[in-house]
Chain A
Amino acid sequence: MLVRERMSTQPVTIAADVPITEALRVMRQSQVRRLPVLDKDDRLIGIVSEKDLLYASPSPATSLSIYEMHYMLSKLNVTELMTPDPITIPPDILLEEAAIIMADNKIGGLPVVENDRLVGIITETDIFKVFLELLGAREKGLRLTLRIPERMGEMARITTAIAQLGGNILALGTFLGDDPTTAIVTVKVVDAPADQLQAAMQALGLEVVDSRET
């Protein structure tokens, strides 16, 4: 799965030379938490997040009047609060590579750039939706969690046993186990009886950690 397949194309952007009050208004209106900042030639020069703006806004506890505060904010431009030269990615990298970059740098969104042009933005939320899909979170079925030994052919044995019972696998995901010799597999299955499935897994010598209908 590539970033291109899940990014938002035509992201909402903001010009560098507008007041932060305008940036806040745009964010609220378009319900986004960050805006790529473009210069006059539509080149990406920064990114500004709602949090950057909120931290910069004077707390209502200051002695400034509402009028003074608004005046101050309207004098402060996006350029002064944006993160310049943000980390960007090309559209053809893997979704999980984008996820690693976000996790390692503790950032919630990455502008996607191709041929020096901003072509999209991908956020934690976009990746979150894929995560739901991956585990079949919105599908009904029997959900089994298994602890399996980390050895060759284990996955083949599991999926074959499910197929033999007439089961259809809606989702399957592998996680790290408690130690390097085991892995955790979560699988969502329809069209096979729960008791038979559990028995088949146990017959394979696998530990059924959890079993539930969803």
Chain B
Amino acid sequence: MNETLRSERLFDAFAVLADTLVAGYDVIDLLNTLVETCHELLDVDSAGILLLTAHDGLEVVASTSEANSVVEFMQLDADAGPCLECFRTRSVVSLPDVDVDDNRWPEFAATARAEGIHSVYAIPLRLRDTTIGTLNLMRNERGELNHHDIKAAQALADVATIGILQERSARDGSAVRDQLQRALSSRIIIEQAKGVVSETSSVSMDIAFQRIRHYARAHQSTLGFVAQQLVRGDLRL
């Protein structure tokens, strides 16, 4: 993709993100838009989000691939890895080659390799003193992310962070916690819906999720709502 075209697409992406913020939004959908934009416009193979939840733990709330989710979940379970490091230090963690220095996070390195992921770039979702999660870009190739992509990713991450924090200050803190909690419950239904589509269409979880996303987008619906219909048997994809 040439630079001009990419800049245009980036502007579009910001416009979409801004629209979501103005129109009132679903956190999960906002974050899904963010990871999808990263996946489409940046030189990365997948993008995912770890977000701080009501219980002060991180959760995987959006991801463009199963491999990306697996690597993030694995870090949560092991309580170690570059994405957690990014959250804790509140700064970017760049890992251009997971095999170099793999004694630091051996479990992470093994899982990433098994999933075909060879480099990771984690950006904190942070505004001044508040860090609410991380945006995790993963690539199947080794090497640093190019500086254009770094700038774009940082900007996208900032917009999403501001959106979530703005919502938090507009309402009281518990309202946002409730919203995140709801987002996580809808996450459960989305996983179940992936299982439903995977079973009925004999496709992988990745493809199943893509189909659910496309359907939601085409019908201007939220992922959570579409997932609920699938789980209830009111909709078949």
Verify that A and B bind, or say they do not.
no
Which residues from chain A sit less than 8 Å from chain B, CB to CB? none
Which residues from chain B sit less than 8 Å from chain A, CB to CB? none
